Amino acid sequence: MNPVDLYRGEIFYLTDSPLDKETFYTYIADGALVVSEGHILESGPYSGMWQKYPQAFLHDYSGMIIMPGMIDAHIHFPQLNIVGMYGKKLLDWLNNYTFPSEKDFNDSAYSDYMAEQFVNTLFRNGTTACVAYATVHPHTAESLFRVASRYNMAMLAGKVLMDTNAPDYLLDTNVCKSKDGIEESRRLICKWHKRGRNRYAITPRFAVTSTPHQLAEAGKLHQEFPDTFIQTHLSENRSEIDTVRSLFPKSKDYLDIYERSGLVSERTIFGHCVYLSDDERKRIAEAKAIVAHCPVSNSFLGSGLMNLEQMNRANIQTVFATDVAGGNTFSMLKVMGEAYKVQLLQNYSLSVGETLYRATLGTALSLGLEKEMGSFVPGSFADFIVIAPEAVPELALRGAYLSEKEEWNIENKLFGLMASGDDRCIQATYIAGNKVYTNNSCLNR
Ligand SMILES: [Zn+2]
């Protein structure tokens, strides 16, 4: 028999969408997750699992929550060193901070080093899979795929496509050896797409920085490789939308530009979507495209308030993301807390269940990767995290207060983590059954 690991703790995972079903999660107060060969065998009450697998190696995380790792659906790998820069809205932010910092990734050794830092920062924050933008330099996507492969991590990523309205030093025509970003993307797809847990995402940054020709070629590339993903930005900020309108005067709206280019599909992830019209929402829902809501970024760059209730009403698949470094944190817990605030400002009380759904199972389902990640279904990869709900001192005080009132239940624990938790609460992160991060303040189990 293969070696079996048994992780004891409070087991929590989503089983359905809280918008569709009354029973949408599994919670076992004294539970166990059983893992073998990097995959989940099953989960259940600790006593039963221990009886069934008496030879298993026991990891005792009693008093902590064991849940699926979080999925960050929109993040910029090369921006990890410009987290928290002062005072700029989107277009100035790009010109003042993003583009100059991405220039440094021309150096492939630097890119490899930063890719390692990037995934380790994700692990420290409890993120076990992501959909990431590299830079225009093709080797930056390779840095990400290489480091993800080493950890057997699910990495969806692509080299950014830009052939206009960006500094010369970041244009495909100047940066790519072939002078053609599409050709380089095709080469990367052939080399990396579906190699291990890697998937390629065709990545035109946004309509401003690609010519109509490049957008159309990106659409054709997706047709050539229909199981690749597409990621881009849509309707994030008012001056961006004005710029897009002046660059594409014949388009009826922003989404139309991507539609004409063949870039709107059920495998397209649109970042932001703060200012969509009803008609754009309707067309996104019809195409089954995915919207990545990045509330921390929308607040930090002063972009605006995305209305999740409108997305839900239109039946759009919305998932959550950091958008580092427009988002000034890698923590999906903080993203969840910000989503709660941003939605409440618009009179929508986002439930704990819906919030978690949009960072775990809901994201996996949207991406078609639910057999691999996002819950604890048997056979999926053992990508999970261990969370201490009282690791932050004020959360410990809150826990003691709620315990006295006999209200220290899983919902209150999870909401506390979103409202006031951060990477201090992440005690361990496992990818495909391997521990890739342990919090130093946690006993090594
Ligand atoms: Zn972004």
User: Among the three residues 315, 338, 367, which one is the final residue of a domain in this structure?
Assistant: 367
Rounded to whole angstroms, how far apart are CA atoms 145 and 159? 11
Cα(75) to centroid of ligand 1, in Å? Answer: 6
| Crossing angle for the helix pair 181-192 and 212-224, to the nearest 10 degrees | 20
Q: How many alpha carbons lie under 13 Å from residue 171 in its C-beta half-sphere?
A: 14
Q: Could you tell me how many residues make up the chain?
A: 445
**207 located within any domain:** yes
How confident is the model at residue 154, as a pLDDT? 98
Cα(271) to centroid of ligand 1, in Å? Answer: 6
User: What's the CATH code of the domain at 414?
Assistant: 2.30.40.10
How confident is the model at residue 296, as a pLDDT? 98
Residues 361 and 386 in one domain: no
**240 located within any domain:** yes
**361 located within any domain:** yes
User: What's the CATH code of the domain at 328?
Assistant: 3.20.20.140
Q: How many CB atoms lie within 10 A of CB 416?
A: 23
Residues 40 and 124 in one domain: no
- Report the b/e string of 311-346 with b at 16+ CB within 10 A: beebebbbbbbbbbbbbbbbbbbbbbbbbbebbeee
Residues 82 and 64 in one domain: no
Cα(91) to centroid of ligand 1, in Å? Answer: 12
Cα(254) to centroid of ligand 1, in Å? Answer: 16
Cα(252) to centroid of ligand 1, in Å? Answer: 23
Contacts of 70 (CB under 8 A, 6+ apart): 125, 126, 127, 128, 332, 359, 360, 385
User: Among the three residues 317, 334, 367, which one is the final residue of a domain in this structure?
Assistant: 367
Residues 166 and 34 in one domain: no
How many domains in the chain? 2
Residues 255 and 342 in one domain: yes
Global pTM value: 0.98
In terms of Cβ atoms closer than 10 Å to its own Cβ (0-12, 13-18, 19+), residue 120 is: middle
Owning domain of residue 379: 5-69+375-438
**445 located within any domain:** no
**443 located within any domain:** no
Cα(320) to centroid of ligand 1, in Å? Answer: 12
Residues 14 and 114 in one domain: no
Cα(272) to centroid of ligand 1, in Å? Answer: 8
Cα(402) to centroid of ligand 1, in Å? Answer: 38
Cα(435) to centroid of ligand 1, in Å? Answer: 29
Residues 389 and 339 in one domain: no
Residues 204 and 219 in one domain: yes
Residues 112 and 40 in one domain: no
Q: What sections of 77-225 are H helices per DSSP?
A: 90-93, 99-103, 108-124, 138-151, 172-175, 181-192, 212-224
User: Among the three residues 367, 394, 425, which one is the final residue of a domain in this structure?
Assistant: 367
> pLDDT tens digits for the chain (445 residues)?
789 999 999 999 999 999 999 999 999 999 999 999 999 999 999 999 999 999 999 999 999 999 999 999 999 999 999 999 997 798 999 999 999 999 999 999 999 999 999 999 999 999 999 999 999 999 999 999 999 999 999 999 999 999 999 999 999 999 988 889 999 999 999 999 999 999 999 999 999 999 999 999 999 999 999 999 999 999 999 999 999 999 999 999 999 999 999 999 999 999 999 999 999 999 999 999 999 999 999 999 999 999 999 999 999 999 999 999 999 999 999 999 999 999 999 999 999 999 999 999 999 999 999 999 999 999 999 999 999 999 999 999 999 999 999 999 999 999 999 999 999 999 999 999 999 999 976 554 4
Residues 59 and 24 in one domain: yes
**444 located within any domain:** no
How confident is the model at residue 444, as a pLDDT? 46
How confident is the model at residue 441, as a pLDDT? 67
Residues 111 and 154 in one domain: yes
Residues 198 and 172 in one domain: yes
Cα(80) to centroid of ligand 1, in Å? Answer: 12
**101 located within any domain:** yes
Task: Identify which of 381, 304, 280 has the alpha carbon closest to the alpha carbon of residue 69.
Answer: 381
Cα(352) to centroid of ligand 1, in Å? Answer: 25
